[in-house]
Amino acid sequence: MSYLFKPANYKPILNLQQTELGITKIKDFFQSNLSSELRLRRVTAPLFVLRGTGINDDLNGVERAVNFPIKDMNDARAEVVHSLAKWKRLTLADYKIENGYGIYTDMNAIRADEELGNLHSLYVDQWDWELVMTADQRNIGFLQNIVRSIYASFLRTEYLVSESFPDIKPYLPNDITFIHAEELRQLYPDLSPKERENEFTRIHKAVFIIGIGGLLGDGKKHDGRAPDYDDWSTVAENGLPGLNGDILFWNPVLDMAFEVSSMGIRVDKTALLRQLETEAKLERLDMYFHKRLAEGSLPLSVGGGIGQSRLCMFFLRKAHIGEIQASIWPEDMYTECQKLNIMLI
């Protein structure tokens, strides 16, 4: 079901022409900064991959991939990617990327099972990135340093936007706040995970929630995560599981926590086996990606995705992702958005 959040007295700061200019400025500037911060080179990415190889990201494990038969390959089926979480790691190996360097790319996806609304569209565009690392860097401290580097690029981009459009004032704090999902649960034991995110992000404005995918103290997950890319089960030096997380900003237009990135240290062979067993998905070990990981032909890495339209939406102070990207929306959403001064592209 679609859901539309209706901000009171919403009035766009930028018109359509200014918005398109802002999108171009943000995308060009941010990817250049990200590349410099993390030492990433740009690569070309696929829109679809073969079904059954284990390369596609299965997100929470329930979303259906858009697929089609390939006439010249005996109707073998291809799937439109959900993200490139596993494809990037294969590319690091095939391109022989050295330790401390990585890749980034424009990821375009179709997610037919998204619940459409202010934050979710059928069309997903991300900067997907992946960085080669060493075994002794598989720790929370290294992950936090990567998050801080990405956050520095966010801050510089926000400053660019405010210089280009003076009516948009800088909003983000100088530093990002870290908290583990279990600590968040203990802080707000009577709230749902999303309600916890809202309460904590409202206070700190920019946060990184660690440990997405594993069971918390109440036997529930903060949120779902596939078992074969992020390492969410390793117990870190702080005694809490998880070497991954999400970056959230407080969105002043929508008055809610707003996820802009999902990322993490990737599974090694031990973590892969443990998480596949936990999720009862050991049959994946017969797939191409998983075989290569298990045989040791893929490098250790950290990586993630940063929403392009999400980031533009936040920095340009838009109320709906459809003000940033062209997509398809229910007719009643179009009608209601017009009443709310939300001009969908």
Residue in 259, 274, 284, 336 annotated catalytic: 259
231 to 135, 176, 307, 309, 342: CA distances (angstroms): 13, 22, 21, 27, 39
Active site residue 126: yes
Nearest of 45, 47, 112, 50 to residue 75 by alpha carbon: 50
Q: Please tell me the number of Cα atoms within 13 Å of 315 on its side-chain side.
A: 32
Residue in 31, 35, 126, 275 annotated catalytic: 126
Active site residue 246: yes
Nearest of 294, 325, 320 to residue 309 by alpha carbon: 325
Active site residue 32: no
Q: How far apart are CA 226 and CA 262, in angstroms?
A: 12
Active site residue 259: yes
- List the structure tokens of 320: 């709906």
Active site residue 77: no
The vertex-6 CA angle with 195 and 121, nearest 5°, equals 80
Residue in 83, 121, 262, 301 annotated catalytic: 262
Q: How far apart are CA 118 and CA 323, in angstroms?
A: 9
Q: How far apart are CA 29 and CA 322, in angstroms?
A: 22
Active site residue 175: no
Q: How far apart are CA 76 and CA 290, in angstroms?
A: 20
Judge whether 304 and 263 are in contact, CB under 8 Å: yes
Residue in 111, 138, 266, 317 annotated catalytic: 111
- List the structure tokens of 301: 């890495």
Residue in 246, 317, 325, 327 annotated catalytic: 246
Residue in 57, 58, 125, 323 annotated catalytic: 57
Q: Which residues are marked as active site?
A: 57, 111, 126, 246, 259, 262
